Structure 1
Amino acid sequence: MTGARGHRRPGAAVTAALLCAVTAAGLHGCSDPGPSEPTPTPTPPPASRPAPTSPLPAGVSPLTGLPARSGPVLAVKIDNVPPARPHTGLTDADLVYVEQVESGQTRLMAVYASKLPDRVGPVRSARESDLALLRQFGRPVLAYSGAQSALTPLLEAAPLHLVTESGDPGAFLRDPRRAAPHNLYLRPDRALAAAPDATHAKDIGFRFGPAPADGTPVNSRTVRFPAVRYTFAWAPAEHAWRVTMDGRSDGPLKPATVVVQQVTVKPSRFRDFTGAVSPYTVTTGSGTAQVLRDGKAYEARWNRPDANAGTTYTTPAGAPLNFAPGQVWVLLTGTGT
């Protein structure tokens, strides 16, 4: 697949033709093209209408609530199987999404806008779920290492600046101390140089400020995916949650806020190279969540009306639920996780 800088967006007819051609060729994942985005699963409305939220103050990052210049948005797909750990560059991310992939494993999407590390990785492939998740950022940069062949036309048609090793080799490097495919790393500054008109960080629905009056004290919270478990242990001295994956620390990962967001995870239209069906994580609609901050857990509701909108988090009564300023992790989990 080619690149990434300033590509032209094919029209709807061209995209449809490409997908039909892929289907006719019998490649994976084209048995039923279906709609471009799955219909959200309806959930019960909140107990009351959310209270209006105030605009974010000037000079504050809309992704962390900290004083920062809101630079261009760079999203990086990061491998998360055990051989890919420890990760590099995650501590500098404003926002980290955790999403399920094949075989019950997870991938990370690290989002940068305030600060850039020297390198990020290991970098791995994109998934269909990324298309809707990234729409809230406008036209960000997406750095990844490849994608299922039938998904490529949709990525190229999306409002994204695509940065890949084949299209922008100077933005990547290989670590000789690691075995492939867990040895590909991104140089973030070079990735952004390939997309000078990328959208800067904007309001995606997060609100920061004092915590609600209630909340349940929590020392640690473990979130289980089918093949991975994440544990967040409260560290009062650091006012953050220490992260371990499958029982092991992954370096100094210390988000201030952790969101465990219950979503629908269902089969994607696409398969991986082994023929396994990729999960599709539905990030539009509404549902329940749990927000961890300040050593407490808060029950919440989330709402995202469509892919162009951000996600708002409210108390069960409908009041905005503030996050603690700092790095945010959002774990997109199936019901009961």
Structure 2
Amino acid sequence: MKKITFIIPLLLCISIVGCSYTDTKSSSTKPFKRESPPVIDISNNNAVTNDCWYTGEDLTEAEKSNIPFMAIIENSKDARPQSGLSEADIVFETMAEGGIPRFIALFHKNTPKQIGPIRSARPYFLSIAEEYNLPFAHCGGSAEALLTIKTNPDIKSINEIVNGSYFYRDNSRKAPHNLYTSADKIRKYITSSNMKTDMVSNLSFDNSFWKKEDLTNATVVNFKLNNFYTTNYKFVNGKYEKYMDNVKAIDKNNNLSLSFTNIVVQQTPIKVQSDNLHLDINMIGKGTGYLFSNGKVEKIRWSRGSSNSQTELTTEDGNKVYLAKGNTIWHIIDNSVTPKYN
């Protein structure tokens, strides 16, 4: 297996690459449909119905009717601060080329007016979107990702290259770090194209899970993901505030700090492909990880049987894991990386 190593010229090269290639439009025949919310069994054997599949929070009637979707968002230094991340239900963070992190964010409850900067797709982002059965906004992609989009009708691509009217450039920033969209624009596309969007999620929520006395304290969480990027969290007022490269992360839309109720850490093999550029990130199989919430930590195991199934989270001894009600950031990291916490 090749070691994951990156060099400064590669970073510079990637930072100036824009979006340019052809792609096919994904569509389907069924409109958005919201099925009944999940019923979750908790420790006291009472059934609790959560309105929001992704946060466990109660929703207003207007929020219930929102069409969920995802968006691939850049996280190079030139892209910060990003727009819309504070309003996402779940933010998945992993690596792209050159040690540069990237997000794919899931939006349902909220309707951010600006989302971005939007960047290109990779196979592992497609895997996450397919896992949740959701459309996702992006601009271009790797050759491997584009081929998957073209040949797999279950992948619900909303590509700026062929759907430019649903995206726009912010002239206050330089390309390629200035491509944006909005929740209204993406939901309009989904509706107008009759794209099928049935909500699926096996996430379970129970705040009482985090009142167990045997949990270890974790009010500071640190990740050094490579020589070019670190991210840290500090537990403040019931949430984990995010720092990137020792700078507090904020949302450009509202100047609010990026704060999360839950931090999921999924450890999996990550290796460089034969082109010495793109990454293979194993999203199917089994592995270990961590779940941080309420200033505590639980070591976990994850498993996912196929691309058509969802990732299951359990404790180390195989019991059900419950997130606290609220938003989540989900780190997908290499097995060699271990978060430090206290």
Fold equivalence (TM over 0.5): yes
Equivalences for 1:111-122 in 2 at 5 Å?
111-122=106-117
Is the Cα–Cα contact under 8 Å of residues 72 and 198 in structure 1 kept in the other structure?
no
> Which residue does 2:8 correspond to in 1?
none
How far the C-alpha of 1:334 sits from its partner, in A, is 0.6
2:263 equivalent among 243, 255, 258: 258
What is the alpha-carbon distance in structure 1 between the residues aligned to residue 331 and residue 100 of structure 2? 13
Amino acid aligned to 2:264: V
Separation of aligned partners in 2, 1:156 and 1:194: 19
1-structure distance, mates of 2:135, 2:301: 29
Per-residue deviation, 1:156: 2.3
**Secondary structure in structure 2 of the residue aligned to 1:178:** coil
What is the Cα deviation at residue 120 of structure 1? Answer: 0.4
Deviations 1:74-99 (A, max 9, x none): 11111101010001000110101011
Which amino acid in the other structure matches residue 291 of structure 1?
L
Q: Secondary structure at the match of 1:129?
A: helix
Sequence identity (%): 23
If the length of structure 2 is used for normalisation, what is the TM-score?
0.78
Unaligned runs of 5+ in 1: 9-52
- How does 1:25-44 map onto structure 2 within 5 Å? none
Once residues 121 and 62 of structure 1 are traced to their aligned partners in structure 2, the CA distance between those partners, rounded to angstroms, is 23
Q: 1:59 to 1:298 in 2, by over 3 A?
A: closer
Match for 1:148: what amino acid?
Answer: S
Q: In 2 relative to 1, CA 72–282 (structure 1 residues): closer, same or farther, beyond 3 Å? A: farther
8 Å contact from structure 1 (residues 77, 144) kept in 2: yes
Which residue in 2 is equivalent to 1:234? 235
Q: Is the contact made by 2:129 and 2:135 (CA closer than 8 Å) also made in structure 1?
A: no
Counting only pairs closer than 5 Å after superposition, residues 161-240 of structure 1 correspond to structure 2 as 161-196=156-191, 197-212=195-210, 213=212, 214-226=214-226, 227-235=228-236, 237=237, 239-240=238-239
Runs of 4+ aligned residues of structure 1 deviating over 4 Å after TM superposition are none
Q: How many residues align?
A: 285
Alignment partners' CA distance in 2, 1:7 and 1:60:
26
8 Å CA contact 1:113–1:200 kept in 2: the answer is no
Corresponding position of 1:145: 139
Structure 2, unmatched stretches of 5+, are: 1-21, 30-39, 251-256, 338-342
Q: Retained in 2: the 8 A contact 1:135–1:307?
A: yes
Does 1 or 2 have the higher relative contact order (CA < 8 Å, sep 6+)? 1
Contact 1:70 1:200 in 2 (8 A): no
Q: Distance in 2 between matches of 1:247 and 1:287?
A: 29
Instruction: Report the equivalent of 1:62.
Output: 53
Which residue pairs with 1:128 in the alignment? 123
**Is 1:97 the equivalent of 2:118?**
no
Q: Distance in 1 between matches of 2:142 and 2:78?
A: 22
CA distance, structure 2, for counterparts of residue 83 and residue 168 of structure 1: 25
**Cα distance in 2 for residues equivalent to 1:314 and 1:144:** 32
CA contact (8 A) 1:76 1:109 kept: yes
Contact 1:70/1:113 (<8 A) preserved: no
Letter in 2 for 1:258: I
User: Are 1:157 and 2:151 an aligned pair?
Assistant: yes
> How far apart are the structure 2 equivalents of 1:240 and 1:264?
29
For residues 290-329 of structure 1, the aligned pairs below 5 Å read 290-329=290-329
Query: Aligned-pair RMSD on alpha carbons?
Result: 2.1
